[in-house]
Amino acid sequence: MSKAIIALALAAASIGASAPQGVAPPSKAEVLKFAIIGDSGTGDSAQYKVAEQLIASRATFPYEFVIMLGDNLYYGSGEKDYRKKFEAPYKRLLDSGLKFYATLGNHDNTNEKFYKPFNMNGERFYTFRPKPGVRFFALDSNYMDKSQTDWLEKELAASGSDWKIAFFHHPLYSSGGTHGSDTKLREQLEPVFLKYGVDAVFSGHEHFYERIKPQKGIYYFVSGGAGKVRKGDVEKTDLTAKAFDTGYHFMLVELAKDTLNFQVVTDQGKIVDAAALPRFSDVDKKKMSTLSQ
């Protein structure tokens, strides 16, 4: 079945939520479309509402997979938790064969890595290449030990991909009043990201949305509001390019040849941030990195 037919079928099956207006970013020379949910696993009505919008969005923005930024199952990992906090809200997507790629948050049981629909292949950290030219690196920011950083360096060094996207739970940059930037993790990861030319980083943990101004040539996004929201928690700082902390949300992203297009959609189907961000060249990144030191 072609993707177009699947998209139509999903649109037809979509009940209770119409496609958010305008969810169709520019797609010249498109490479890859994907969606992002963070801190989703509460099992309550907010998660389900976000899920409905996520499903509806696929009719106009046919994303090929979803990445999960951790805290996939809050408060337990029994059979009911998997069902109520993952399988039920995303059933229509799962039934259509859509893949989810998860990372572990501080509320997750490590053994979620064995759960096949999370596509972690039994590992805390892993990489995948959904299409030529794009590689994703899923990290376990709860436990950044030597085995993981050695692995990351090796995989990044071997990666010839044009786009390098990292995702994990704890944000290196954040204006959150409750958590804020994880500076110790930043000390560990940022030099590696810079050395090997990571382009964009997506994290959760904070229950809001924040787009960080590019840091040393890397785009950082905080997106932890697909099941929880911490209203008014963004203390806007010099880091903030755009923030949204009054409702639930998820992200839609498209990687084109040299552009990252994205939209941030609320549980009401409203778009609260969108942009087409140019990919920084390695030369630009080096310049920005040097300037900021």
Partner 1 sequence: MKNISTVLIMFALAVSGSTVHAQEKFESSPDARVLGDFKVRIEKYDQLRKKADDSAPPLEKSNSGAKIKDAQNGLAERIGAARAGVKPGEIFTPEIAPVFKRLLRPEARQQQTKEAMKDDQPAVVSFKVNGPYPDKQPVATVPPNVLAALPQLPKDIEYRFIEKHLILRDARANLIIDYIPNAIP
> Binding marks (x or -) toward partner 1, 18..57, rule CB under 8 A?
----------------------------------------
Handedness of CA 51, 53, 57, 59 (dihedral sign): positive
Cβ at position 187, least distance to partner 1 in Å: 7
Please say which residue, 70 or 217, places its beta carbon nearer to partner 1: 70
- Separation of alpha carbons 114 and 73, rounded Å: 14
- Separation of alpha carbons 107 and 97, rounded Å: 27
Contact yes or no for 231/213 (Cβ under 8 A): no
Which residue from 184, 195, 213, 257 is in contact with partner 1, where contact means CB under 8 A?
Answer: 184
237 binds partner 1 (CB under 8 A): no
Closest CA to 233 of 173, 180, 273, 172: 180
SS3 179: coil
Tell me the window of 22-30, 141-149, 241-249, 284-292 that interacts with partner 1 (CB under 8 A): 141-149
CA distances from 139 to 50, 53, 256 (A): 24, 27, 24
Closest CA to 138 of 168, 117, 161, 115: 168
**Tokens standing for residue 137:** 């690196």
76 binds partner 1 (CB under 8 A): yes
223 binds partner 1 (CB under 8 A): no
203 binds partner 1 (CB under 8 A): no
How long a stretch of residues is the chain?
Answer: 293
Q: Which residues on adjacent β-strands are paired with residue 161? A: none
Residues 164-183 touching partner 1, rule: CB under 8 A, are: 170, 179-180, 182-183
Residues 112-131 touching partner 1, rule: CB under 8 A, are: 112, 114-117, 121-122
Contact yes or no for 212/240 (Cβ under 8 A): yes
Which residue from 22, 131, 143, 276 is in contact with partner 1, where contact means CB under 8 A?
Answer: 143
Cβ at position 94, least distance to partner 1 in Å: 10
238 binds partner 1 (CB under 8 A): no
SS3 266: strand
Cβ at position 148, least distance to partner 1 in Å: 9
Please say which residue, 3 or 80, places its beta carbon nearer to partner 1: 80
Cβ at position 115, least distance to partner 1 in Å: 6
- Separation of alpha carbons 190 and 130, rounded Å: 24
91 binds partner 1 (CB under 8 A): no
Phi and psi torsions of 222, nearest 5°:
-110, 125
Which residue from 21, 27, 131, 147 is in contact with partner 1, where contact means CB under 8 A?
Answer: 147
154 binds partner 1 (CB under 8 A): no
**Could you list the residues that contact partner 1 (CB under 8 A)?**
75-79, 81-83, 106-112, 114-117, 121-122, 141-147, 149, 170, 179-180, 182-185, 187-188
